[in-house]
Amino acid sequence: MSSDPNQAYPQPPAYGAPGGQGYPPPAGGQPIGYPPGGVEYPPDAMPPPQPAPQPYPVGGQPYPAPPQGAYPQYYAGPMAPSTNGMAIASLACSIGSFIILPVVGAILGVIFGHIALGQIRRANPPEQGEGLAKAGLIVGYIHLGLFALAIIALVVFLIIIAAVAATSSPAFVQ
């Protein structure tokens, strides 16, 4: 007998040989379909080796901050535009001026409407509410116009009453 201990056992056929299906490839060999000697990669296809991480320094940060641009910056996507709060306040005050605060609400509605339009035009990212602000301005100006007409009508009515009272008083009768 030889000194080789594997000689005592029968050797399976080589991988890929007839009847050798299911056996592992021989030591140092490659499975069928691979070129002999293994797969070779070009030197630039493999990433450069990275240095091993350093242990935590005593009393400091575990690692230095990553350099800018080390991680990809993800964009969250477009956000839904928000509605300007002054535009909502303008419309609420203008409508409320007919019910709760007759003149003060209309004045506040007009002021808030002009502020809201300016804010909406300058907003970055864009804001919604231009229609609400314009509606608040229109309703506020209509209410102020109606109030002015009511004051004018009251003054005219008082002048007419005073004129009628002056002409029909007994002191002027002769």
* Average predicted confidence (pLDDT) for the chain: 77
Q: Using CA atoms, how far apart are residues 135 and 88, in angstroms rounded to an integer?
A: 10
pLDDT above 90 for 113? yes
Q: Where are the domains of the chain?
A: 85-167
- Name the band, by pLDDT with cuts 50, 70 and 90, for residue 20: very low
Start-to-end CA distance of the chain, whole Å, equals 167
**Distance in angstroms (rounded) separating the CA atoms of residues 31 and 172:** 133
* Residues 6 or more apart whose Cβ sits within 8 Å of residue 1: 7, 8
Please, which pLDDT band fits residue 11 given cuts at 50, 70 and 90? low
**Residues sharing a CB contact under 8 Å with residue 40, sequence separation 6 or more, in sequence order:** none
pLDDT in tens, 115-132: 999 999 999 888 999 999
pTM confidence score: 0.52
What pLDDT does 28 receive?
57
Q: What percent of the chain has pLDDT over 90?
A: 41
With CA atoms as reference, report the closest residue to 128 among 87, 168, 79, 171: 87
Q: What is the mean pLDDT of residues 37-52?
A: 66
Quote the pLDDT of residue 149: 97
Distance between CA atoms of residues 57 and 43, nearest Å: 35
Q: Produce one character per residue of 47-61: b if its CB has 16 or more CB atoms within 10 Å, e if not.
A: eeeeeeeeeeeeeee
Q: Compute the CA torsion angle 157, 162, 168, 173 (nearest 10 deg).
A: -160
- Amino acid identity of 69? G
Measure the CA angle with vertex 31, ends 17 and 43; round to 5°.
150
The mean pLDDT of 29-49, rounded to a whole number, is: 60
pLDDT tens, 130-173?
A: 999 999 999 999 999 999 999 999 999 999 999 988 887 665 55
pLDDT of residue 96: 95
